[in-house]
Amino acid sequence: QVQLVESGGGLVRAGGSLRLSCAASGLSFNYHSMAWFRQAPGKEREFVSAINRSGGRTLYVDSVKGRFTISRDNAKNTVYLQMNSLRPEDTAVYYCAAKLSEAIFIEPPTAAYDYWGQGTQVTVSS
């Protein structure tokens, strides 16, 4: 059974940092591209960032470029999202997702991803 378990969320002041982790099990992690999405209250789930299987290619939505960094450790079956210079508008539940494909695209539909975690809350106060 595939499991994606996010951790690292919390409450932080604007300008602060958080590092999210997503530990994967039950799948061949090396064969899956990974992504982070987020969903704010009353809004649709939106793409944040993606990383290909080797970690050699990454994509970011414009609103987080230069502030967020996605990375992965295939030996630990874990993907990370380092979030710096956080803003109140970054407040959302952050979800980890996996898909069995090398290709990654900017702002893909959620249906493009096969597996999802349960989410971790990130709250940024002003």
The mean pLDDT of the chain is: 96
Model confidence at 101: pLDDT above 90: no
How high is the pLDDT of residue 110? 87
Above pLDDT 90, what percent of the chain?
90
pLDDT in tens, 39-80: 999 999 999 999 999 999 999 999 999 999 999 999 999 999
Model confidence at 83: pLDDT above 90: yes
> In which residue are the tokens 């530990």 written?
23
HEC secondary structure over 58-73:
EEECHHHCCCEEEEEE
How high is the pLDDT of residue 117? 98
First and final C-alpha spacing in the chain: 40
- How many CA atoms within 13 Å lie on the side-chain side of 65? 7
How high is the pLDDT of residue 21? 98
Q: Which of 40, 27, 45, 93 is nearest to 81 (CA)?
A: 93
Determine the Cα angle at 24 with ends 81 and 120, to 5°.
50
The confidence band for 119, taking pLDDT boundaries of 50, 70 and 90, is very high
Model confidence at 108: pLDDT above 90: no
Q: Which residues of 52-70 are buried (b: 16+ CB within 10 A; e: fewer)?
A: bbeeeeebbbeebeeebbb
Name the burial class of residue 90, with classes exposed (0-12), middle (13-18) and buried (19+) by CB atoms within 10 angstroms of its CB: buried
Q: Which two tokens mark 115? A: 């597996």
Are the beta carbons of 46 and 105 closer than 8 angstroms?
Answer: no
